[in-house]
Amino acid sequence: MGHPGGGGGRPVISPVPLLRLEAVAVPFGDRPGLHDVSLTLAEGEHFALVGTSGVGKSSLLSAIAEPAEGVVGRLELQGRDLRTDTEARRDVVLLGQRPLLFPHLSVRRNVAFPLEVRRRPAAAASERVEELLDLVRMLDLADRAPDTLSGGQAHRVALARALAAAPRLLLLDEPFTGLDPELRSALQATVVRAATETGTATITVTHDVAEAARIAARIGVLERGRLVRVAAPEELFLDPGSATVADLLGWPNRLDVTVVDGTPRFEDIPLPAGPGPRRPDGPAHLVFPRDGGTLVEAGSGHLDVRVEAVDPRPDGADVRWSRLRDPSGGPESSSGGVHLEGAVGVDPVRPPAIGRVMGLRLHPDRIRLYPTRSEQP
């Protein structure tokens, strides 16, 4: 897993925070939105914000870039209040999902715009524009009108324009959504490279946790209006911290179990509890990733499941399994359905037959158990 900052390691993080958010609350119209969001970001740090749709990721970025009325809490950039200090706000640039190029200006003049409004000397500005156009590989199209560019090209120009503002903090609100994965990945790499070169810190909003892990040193998880977790990618992947975050990470298996005497039980079948201290008794979510379980012969004391489908993957194959819920008991699944479903990796060369009943053996080191109450806001 590569991280920006050179040498595949973390960026050099200054002890002086660049951004400080303390107990920030952002209303969504007339209803409560984000609340009690606290976060510090170091100079040059690359941070990613993940969460489901509508959880408030974009609202948080907007609140940082342009704190509107109704936003409460402390928002500071290098100790300057972002709500009152317009100069501090000039050090923050938000790049949104639409490139929003100025249609009356050529590509070159679009990129020059932030430099012109800052009254930079013409020669230096011109040189910087050329550098940035080269960085995003748009030098050849510098004299074109924005309406003649493809979507990807327009996004590249928007990126160069954002970097021309030389912000201390660049906020990226899914700016490359809708582009093909290869181009999106290349643009993300360009952003990180350019931002690292200029010492610009970034906060990237994304739905894609894998993408977040590629570009950020830390990932923040927003859930129901709260920043519930901030962790390094590998830490997050090892221990999501809640079933919802595990779901966000793409862990496809979730069992609603009851912990009795420290042992999780599903329909009276004892299951491994996973690493860590003994869990308190009561309802809990048992979650695990694709490699957290193996299909074995049925009737061997494991959870018996039915093979529903075999889905090929670039790195192997998944078996989608299901299990009819025991109508006599057991907690209701979060979906309220009659099936439990999940997926585990299998050998793509010898996949099990569809419809076959097999035992699901859980790997104790890959499963995580979270009390159900941790899901409450």
Q: Which is nearer to another protein, 203 or 295 (CB)?
A: 203
Q: Could you tell me the smallest distance in angstroms from the CB atom of residue 80 to another protein?
A: 15
Q: Which is nearer to another protein, 118 or 373 (CB)?
A: 118
In which residue are the tokens 């025991």 written? 326
- How many other CB atoms are there within 10 angstroms of residue 263's CB atom? 15
Q: Which is nearer to another protein, 28 or 234 (CB)?
A: 28
d(CA 227, CA 220): 7
Q: Could you tell me the smallest distance in angstroms from the CB atom of residue 218 to another protein?
A: 24
Closest to 303 (Cα-Cα) out of 341, 335, 329? 341
Q: Could you tell me the smallest distance in angstroms from the CB atom of residue 109 to another protein?
A: 5
Closest to 335 (Cα-Cα) out of 243, 199, 213? 243
Q: Could you tell me the smallest distance in angstroms from the CB atom of residue 170 to another protein?
A: 11
Q: Could you tell me the smallest distance in angstroms from the CB atom of residue 105 to another protein?
A: 5
Do 162 and 90 meet the contact criterion of CB atoms below 8 Å apart?
no
Binding site for another protein (CB under 8 A): 65-66, 90, 93-94, 96, 98, 100, 102-106, 108-109, 113-114, 116-118, 143, 145-146, 161-162, 165
Return phi, psi of residue 68, to 5°: -90, 170
d(CA 44, CA 18): 8
Cβ neighbours of residue 21 closer than 8 Å, sequence gap 6 or more: 37, 38, 39, 40, 64, 73, 74, 75, 76
Q: Could you tell me the smallest distance in angstroms from the CB atom of residue 119 to another protein?
A: 10
Token couple for 294? 């193996």
Q: Could you tell me the smallest distance in angstroms from the CB atom of residue 49 to another protein?
A: 18
Q: Which is nearer to another protein, 25 or 145 (CB)?
A: 145
Q: 115-147 burial, b for 16+ CB within 10 Å, e for fewer?
A: beeeebeeeebeebbeebbebbebbebbeeebe
Q: Which is nearer to another protein, 112 or 319 (CB)?
A: 112
Q: Which is nearer to another protein, 94 or 255 (CB)?
A: 94
Token couple for 2? 């590569």
Do 113 and 161 meet the contact criterion of CB atoms below 8 Å apart?
yes
Q: Which is nearer to another protein, 38 or 97 (CB)?
A: 97
Token couple for 45? 């740090």
Q: Could you tell me the smallest distance in angstroms from the CB atom of residue 133 to another protein?
A: 14
Cβ neighbours of residue 151 closer than 8 Å, sequence gap 6 or more: 99, 178, 179
Q: Which is nearer to another protein, 23 or 100 (CB)?
A: 100
Q: Could you tell me the smallest distance in angstroms from the CB atom of residue 104 to another protein?
A: 5
Q: Which is nearer to another protein, 37 or 163 (CB)?
A: 163
Q: How far is CA 160 from CA 40, 41, 45, 89, 104, in A?
A: 26, 23, 19, 19, 17
